[in-house]
Amino acid sequence: MAGLTIKQLEQKAAEIRRSVISSLEQAGSGHAAGSLGLADVMTALYLEVLNVKPDQPDWPERDMLVMSNGHLAPVLYAAMAEAGFLPKDELKTLRQLGSRLQGHPERQALPGLETTSGPLGSGLSQAAGMAYHLQYLSPDQHRFVYCLLGDGELDEGNIWEAAMFAAKYKLGQLTAIVDRNMIQIGGSTEDVMPLEDLRGKWQSFGWHVQEIDGHNIESIIEAMSMARAVTNQPSVVIAHTIPGKGV
């Protein structure tokens, strides 16, 4: 759907939020606050940024998205439905027995998913491996890998191992997006395990860093464009979001 105006994208984000609320109500469980907070980022990615073909989910030239914070699957499914990967009516089957739309994304179940999300902290390693393949094993400079991270999962050491790996190999085709909503299951991120100076941490690991308003769709799109232009190091976009935004 590339070519939509910012106003149209904002309207799509509102539709995605409605879909999230409806599917969660139908399921009777799930993560609402983070899913709603990430709706603008997901709208920008699926309707403007990602080079994908919903009718050809395995298209060899596609960009790849890894959702490491897989508990926010409701907004992933809603965005994929808005983009045309699945019927919107199927969103009503979220978390139901036999559904393709489980509480965490399952690659084998739903075409268009690149990975199955498991333990928090694992996604950046997967995304870095994909980017390494694109850059060194099967060189293709026209494809990009994006990885969604929750700020709470930055407590995991695996994240920083992957960050070192990506910087060492100058994986310019990799962009991480941190959902900086300041909360995790145990409370405030800064109470559980302080993350600041977050920009400085990523910079010290050799990453190109941007900080944006995660609800400004124009800023999100511009940040992704700037990240793609950085070819000699991996990029991270710290997107400041509000849990439950839009309700």
35-91: per-residue pLDDT in tens? Answer: 999 999 999 999 999 999 999 999 999 999 999 999 999 999 999 999 999 999 999
Residue 246 lies in a domain: no
Q: Give the pLDDT confidence score for residue 211 in this predicted structure.
A: 99
Counted domains in the chain: 1
Q: Per-residue pLDDT averaged across 117-142, rounded? A: 92
Of the candidates 126, 186, 184, the one whose C-alpha atom is nearest the C-alpha of residue 154 is: 184
Q: Give the pLDDT confidence score for residue 139 in this predicted structure.
A: 82
Query: How far is 247 from 242, CA to CA, in rounded Å?
Result: 11
CATH code at 161? 3.40.50.970
The length of the chain in residues reads 247
Check residue 171 and report its DSSP letter: -
Residue 245 lies in a domain: no
The pTM score is: 0.96
Residues 6+ apart with CB under 8 A from 130: 64, 66, 114, 145, 174
Q: At what angle do helices 157-168 and 123-132 cross, to 10 degrees?
A: 10
Which domain, by its residues, includes 108?
6-240
Q: Give the pLDDT confidence score for residue 247 in this predicted structure.
A: 85
Note whether 202 and 162 are within 8 A (CB): no
Q: In a 10 Å sphere around its CB, with 0-12 CB exposed, 13-18 middle and 19+ buried, how is residue 176 labelled?
A: buried
Q: At what angle do helices 73-83 and 6-27 cross, to 10 degrees?
A: 130
Q: Per-residue pLDDT averaged across 223-247, rounded? A: 97
Where are the alpha helices (H) located in 29-169, listed in sequence order? 32-37, 39-44, 73-83, 123-132, 157-168
Residue 39 lies in a domain: yes
162-208: per-residue pLDDT in tens? Answer: 999 999 999 999 999 999 999 998 889 999 999 999 999 999 999 99
Residue 11 lies in a domain: yes
